[in-house]
Each structure stands twice: as C-alpha cells, then as structure tokens.
Chain A
Amino acid sequence: MSEVVIKVENLKKHFPINEAIPFKKSTQSVKAVDGVSFEVFKGETLGIVGESGCGKSTMARLINQLIRPTEGVVEFKGKNLATLGSKEIRSIRKSIQMVFQNPYASLDPRKTIEYLIAEPLVIHQIGDAKSRKKRVIELLEVVGLSGYHAERYVHEFSGGQRQRINIARALALNPDIIICDEPVSALDVSVQAQVINLLKDLQRKFDLTYIFISHDLNVVRYICDRIAVMYLGKIVEIGTYEELYENPKHPYTKALLSAIPKENPFDKKERILLEGDVPSPVNPPSGCSFHKRCPHAMEHCKKDIPAFVDLGKTQKVACHLYS
C-alpha cells in the first residue's frame, strides 16, 4: 500500500471525573479512548463506526490534537504530534482539517460566507484580501455553490448547502487529510447523497485522505475503503469494507451489522439482538470489554484482554474466539 499519513499507536484519553470538587483528588476517569492503534494510508477513506459513547469523536479530536492524549502516539507524516508545542501544532492543523456533524451549529450566523471561508486563510496569514476573495469564490464553485453566495449569511442556506460551506472551509488550506465527524447525519436522505457524492469527487480531485466517522453503517460501507469498529474506547475489528461486511468476525461487528434495518419489505433478516446497553466507560468490564453482552463469552474473556489477531490480508480482530 501507499504512504502512511496518520499513524496512531496505543492512543489513550482518560477524562478525570470529580475534577470540579476542590481538595478532592480525582480517582476515577472516563476512559473515552483506551489504547487504540491504526494507520491511515494516503488517498484512502478510513471509516470509524460504533455506538454513541464509544469514543469515535474523541478519537477525531485526538488526531488533530484539539484535545491532548493521556498516553500514546499520533504520527502525521512521521512526526509525533503528541510531543509538539501548540504553535507547531497550529501550523500542522493546516494539513488536518475537520468537518463537523451539525451544519446548523458549526457556522457563525453573524458572519458572511466569505468571512467564514476566508477565516482559516486569515488565521494562517495566507495571501492578501484580494487573493483571499478569489480563493473563496473558487472554493464555493468547487463545492457546487456560486460566487454570489459569498456575500450571504448562513440563515439563507439549507442544511445541505451549509455542509457544503463547511467543506469549502475545510478545503481552504489545501489539507492532506479531512476528518469528517458524522458529516451527513443531520441531513435528509436526498441531500445526504449529494454531499456524499461531493466528498467523493473532491477526494479524487485533490487526492485527499478522509477519516470518516459515522454511526450509519450503510453510509460507511459506501464511502470507506477500510473500516474500524469501536466499542468502549477500543477498536474491536478493522478491515476493508468487503472483509467486514461480507465476513464479520467479531461478535460485536456481527450484532451491529444485523441491526441495520431491512432494505426492502421482502427482506427476511436474522437479527442478533444485544442485551442491555453499553457499559459505563468509567468502569469498563475486566478482560474483553464486550464480554457482558457477548453471546459467545467464555470464562477467560472475563480476565484476559484479547490481542489483535491477523486474519489474512488486512482484517484484524480482537477476540478470544480467534486466538
């Protein structure tokens, strides 16, 4: 495969609780991301899926260092970001941009579109007013809007158009990688398809790498080359979309895939219904964190943390059933 753009190794983020109580030392922490390792190759789309609270979004923020990790390594083109100072990080963020979930909340309603899209250019002191304006119009056209939209305000745009503006803003600095945190979850189906097509086109045009976070398994299947499944702060299975969807190995991946609603009224689906809810990340179960809900749980699942097992080409799974 091609060049590694992002390499994450044993990444951990623990948020201490009780911090607000004076004189009381925090003893417990929320283990939002708990020892995650993976690589992202140039030009690919890596999907991260999982239920809410599994650490997907924390993962995204750790990669571009919006929050600093408790432990572990985030490498961008061979440089460990976790040890860099905030000034250096800032310049590296030019290459790692984000698109957030809610296009109704991520754009300032009091600013014009031109201001919003030019803001990253201003922050990084690129070009003068005139060249920035040219760039804004160029970007608007790239994402399927028109130059005359530049003078308008956010409230004049629909959800899909707002997400296009967010994408234009992320593109402004010619990034290598864009982290999309649930970019289409707030959109209607017909608009969702437009935005997904746009993302795919841009990837081809600008040779972008995406990390695509979503809970919609159909969207992820469609847009991603490789997919990582997260559960309680850990990756339980990773592989190409074909491997994962045709031949899921981890019991959690199987349950997750079986929960996708039917595709047509004639579909007869075998469903693996999981019992109960995701346990609290403050006290994750010992051993394999999935053992409490797992239909195949064995005695040693309660004690030993399963290691990643290579299953052929690119598929890896963390489960005792395969070790």
Chain B
Amino acid sequence: MDLGPFLFLATLEGLVSAAVLALTAVGLGLVFGVMRVVNVAHGEFFMLGAVVAWAVTNLMPGAPALGFVAALALSPLAAALVAIAADRAILRRLDYAPEAVIVATIGLGYILQQGALSLYGPEARAVAAPFSFRIQFPWFGYSGYKLAVIVFAALVLTGVWALLTRTKIGLVMRATQWDRETATAFGIDTDRVYALVFGLGAGLAATAAVLVAPISQAHYLMGGDPLLLSFAVVIIGGLGSLRGTVIAALLIGLTDGIVGVFFAPTLGKILATLLVALVLVFRPQGLFGRKTA
C-alpha cells in the first residue's frame, strides 16, 4: 500500500479510538467539572459496560443486532445505577473531600474488578457486532461498524452538549459547578445533581465500552488504559471544559492511531504518558484551558 492510503487507514483507526475516548473522557471530565472530584473507578465503569454488554448480547435471543441495541441501553443504565449507589453510600458520606474520594474510588474500582472476575471470569470474550458489512474503498475494505461507532459517538456527544447547554437539568448542573453553596441557596438539590452527574459520567464510559466491545474484547482488567487515557484527555483539554475535552480526545486518538502505525506501541505509550505528566506540571490549566487568576 502507498503512504497515502496507509495514512488514510491510520486516520480512520485514529478516529475510532478518538470517538470512544471522547465519550469516556467526557464522562470523567463532567464528574470532575461539576463535582470537583477525581473518579479513579472510571475505568472500571468502562469495563462494567463491556462485560454487561457481553452478558446482554448472550442472553438475548434473536438477531445479534437486537441484543446489541439492548446492550446499548442496558449497559450504561447498569453502570449508572452502580455509580449512583456508590455516590449515595460512599462519596456523599465523605462530603466529596477530594483526596478521600480518590482513595474510596480506588477501593470501588478493586471491588468492581473482583465482581467481574468472580461473575464473568478471567477470559477475554468478544461481543458480536450488530452488523458486519464492509465499505469498499479503492485501496482497502473497511468495517462499516467502525464507521458507525464514529457517527454514534458524535451523536451522543452532541446529545451531552445539548443536555448541558439547552436544558434545565444542564443549567442546574452548571449552576452547581459554579458554586455549590449558592446553588443550594437557590433551592437546587445538589445531592441529586451530584448523583445524577456521577451516574451520567459512568453511563458515558459504559456507552463507550459497549461500542468498543465488538472491536476489541471484554475483559475484567480492560479499564486501566481508558482511565489513564481519559486522565490525559481531560487534563490536556483543560479540566472541566467539554469542548477542550473533545478536541484533546481527537488529538490523542488520532496521534495514537497514526503514531501507533510508525512506533513501537510501548515506546509511544511511555512518551505520551510522560508528555501528559509534564503538561500537568507546567500547564495545569491544560493546553486549551485559560488560566484562572
């Protein structure tokens, strides 16, 4: 293959990872933005989404597409319910103290991993794609499903954007983000907002995982990489900025796709990890964020 088509293929692959990453990272970023806490269990909500998707598609009789649609609805719901339960039972009792929440969500992550290991097992299992037609480009054929993932992720992200900017719930969330006490004074039930946001964040991670499950596989340790990459995206995008997060996801996803074609993956990961750490050290407001006072 010539370089041109090769780059085109790498770009497509990069767009797929960017789409999945954007969904996951927006979930993490939303939680950080509104609640000012870092959810270390975010990767495990991602994993939960994929594992539940496997269970649903295997339990549903009939066409695989039907099972997949059911998974797309049920997985995020399951993750969101677990997250809301965790918020009520643990995070609220900690009064959302940042460092305590970090320790607690590390613990939560281990519990979710154990749950998956005990109930689902240590194997990596594939989830059947809802359809399998290929789109034929002049140089190569490409999975129609992967293109559908990009489109679907874009739709969900647009939905999140509309929810945040065009609805009353979004307004309430933004008000809580600005100032929790004032929001409370204006009669906003911030406890419910927090539970909702935490659930929504987990649901977005699970959605991303359902989309990615037919491409990679579902495994109980699959949450580690999405967590680190989401950290990277949220940090580089400027903590708490939806637009920055999406741009950073595109940047990192595309770089990942393209660099992965040319470099050893481990070396690429090392450099990327160090780069993100240095961004956080020297530009804590992110590459796109603006310095606040």
A and B pair up: no
